[in-house]
Structure 1
């Protein structure tokens, strides 16, 4: 994998030559000036922020413009106008399907939703042994079992057709696993998937045990499409790092779920609703916000590592929430407005807007999902994006192997 700065990335000859970051000799802190960022031995910015690490055909995020896309299409426009199956097809095959291709794709993935008997038999044990971890932890383990049960080859050894089939299996079976683990945790029997329902409708059917309304299906489908992929976020990058080692596809997704489980990444939708609960009533909005802003506390559901304007996913999901209406939506919109206004007053010059998690939590709650299923639902969508990234990474034979700059005591020293 090529690691460059944005400036260096402009010259395609550098990428063609296969430039790598190589390990530099350990130096004491008082050593000579370090190489420039992106050069061999050069230091990357903290958190790799803004560092371009590879090329991709899957999409990009434009933080200053408040825009992101899947391949050549606006992700938000896709969420508003196309089905999840269409977007899944786009990411894997590079084009939106026509009616014939869509029918064939749906028929191909529908049977893959069903759990193999040996996996279904193990799920109750997973729930009992991991009762405090929740469905996301169970999903991580269950997908590892799926990989083992299918005998998934390493990406290094598998041919492209086998890799694609593994990707389709993982993308199709993840919502079935997540829903089954959730229901078993509640003491309810899992609900089998139906081949006559769309991806989003099937997910709600398996979670709720009742056929969802058209409004619920479109709301959840738009959320799922909007969160399928989002640049080189922590979980996607994790999946690609593992893929670069040649590991099997299930192992890559399991690692990505581990990254997603952190509250600073995928674990925030329920916490954003917790914020609304903590505020409680309209008269408490201003004092609660003032107290937490002045204390420097993080307000969950606000701010983003990339966007310097309104998160387009939040804007879309606000519209979805407004279609439902009701007290929760009105309260959430009032809190959003006052956070922005009070931040401008208390921290002038610092812009802070809602991110995807704020209204995602509202929408999912209105669709009947319990809060423990918010992050697993995020994973259900993101698995499709992860697998597309894994397949792309598998075409590059180079392992991702950056370096760290040693800043400890000078070495070597005598061993006492």
Structure 2
């Protein structure tokens, strides 16, 4: 028997594992919050179909499902409403700074203004590091962040338009309040249902870039606000959160039904990406797109007819020029149409997405905070071999 003493096998070099670029297909953690099954065209929040929740439940119910782990009964729904109503009110010191933030962020992505506003709000609330908080304190912080995000983003938008911010109303639910604070007009039933469904459908969608960013920061024990700010920074990238308005820009660029075929062929031949089509996860129709298409059909009108014609035209050309690719519309394509029909301006598309996704982020942050293991991957050095002499 070889009794030679060997070095321990826990050295970092012994544990290096090469993974695909972008961590594609790598399981980085376990979650009970939901999953995306791309080959089936299905995704879920906990044990429920996300699309069924979006079409059958109010936003607050799904908020509770993600945060508390179950759908509420009538009494729990009212209890949660009583909890949320007061925490939507902004601290006076934060509200006083919003005109300055709106002015400084004018002409840029509203997410930048939202990050600045949240960066002020978090210390005003005295958020402690997740590492030092009880589970109940973390949950209270998560609910507060979820409640104030739509208030902040709508206020900043209105201030940039030289309009006064509008206070949330206690008699309106989350989706109706969002449209009320944004436009100053109480939405009709069809608008409420459309925005409610869109907001629910975008609460969570697996370990996307912003969600993973939030969990990485949470793993350090940082405060919940820092985790959300990091997620917002990730979302600001055009490859992640900026596509709904760009999909409408595509409709504008095409202009009319008779130009669809030639425009799409030119775009494909030049290697241009057609916004609103294709998804890195789904290999079949995006279930969110199918749901929003049905909602758009309920509105009807020239914009919806044109969007459907463009969808059909793009898929016909892609099937001819790129057979077997199976590219379908993703959530951004009909999301842009629905938001436009509900009176949400294009510069608010991505902030509206953020106002919903913050619920998913905070749910993931709460889950990650239960695990004391810091997320700390390795890298493989590929530069010039060290050490090199220098003068």
| TM-score, normalising length: structure 1 | 0.90
Alignment of 1:67-216 (within 5 A): 67-216=42-191
Which whole-Å deviations, capped at 9, do the CAs of 1:18-67 have from their partners, x for residues lacking one? Answer: xxx97438xxxxxxxxxxxxxx2011101100110010000000000000
Separation of aligned partners in 2, 1:297 and 1:22: 46
Separation of aligned partners in 2, 1:110 and 1:288: 49
Alignment of 1:258-337 (within 5 A): 258-337=233-312
Picking from 55, 61, 80, the partner of 2:30 is 55
Separation of aligned partners in 1, 2:324 and 2:100: 52
| Per-residue deviation, 1:131 | 1.3
Separation of aligned partners in 2, 1:407 and 1:71: 41
Within the alignment, does 1:24 sit opposite 2:13 as a pair?
A: yes
Query: Which stretch has the larger CA shift, 332-341 or 373-382?
Result: 332-341
SS at match of 1:272: helix
Corresponding pairs, count: 382
Separation of aligned partners in 2, 1:297 and 1:69: 32
Within the alignment, does 1:403 sit opposite 2:378 as a pair?
A: yes
Separation of aligned partners in 2, 1:216 and 1:229: 22
| Per-residue deviation, 1:135 | 2.1
Question: 1:22, 1:41 within 8 Å by CA — same for their partners in 2?
Answer: no
SS at match of 1:122: helix
Partner residue, 2:387? 412
Separation of aligned partners in 1, 2:282 and 2:271: 20
Separation of aligned partners in 1, 2:116 and 2:172: 27
Separation of aligned partners in 1, 2:100 and 2:213: 28
Query: Which stretch has the larger CA shift, 406-415 or 271-280?
Result: 406-415
SS at match of 1:262: coil
Question: 1:164, 1:391 within 8 Å by CA — same for their partners in 2?
Answer: yes
Partner residue, 1:240? 215
Question: 1:153, 1:248 within 8 Å by CA — same for their partners in 2?
Answer: yes
Tell me the C-alpha RMSD between the 2 structures.
1.1
Query: Is there any run of 5+ residues in structure 2 with no aligned partner, and where?
Result: 1-9
Which whole-Å deviations, capped at 9, do the CAs of 1:89-130 have from their partners, x for residues lacking one? Answer: 001111100111111011111111111111110000001112
Partner residue, 1:374? 349
| Per-residue deviation, 1:134 | 3.5
| Per-residue deviation, 1:413 | 2.0
Query: Which stretch has the larger CA shift, 147-156 or 126-135?
Result: 126-135
Partner residue, 2:332? 357
Separation of aligned partners in 1, 2:109 and 2:284: 34
SS at match of 1:146: helix
Moved over 4 A (4+): none
Query: Is there any run of 5+ residues in structure 1 with no aligned partner, and where?
Result: 1-20, 26-39
| TM-score, normalising length: structure 2 | 0.96
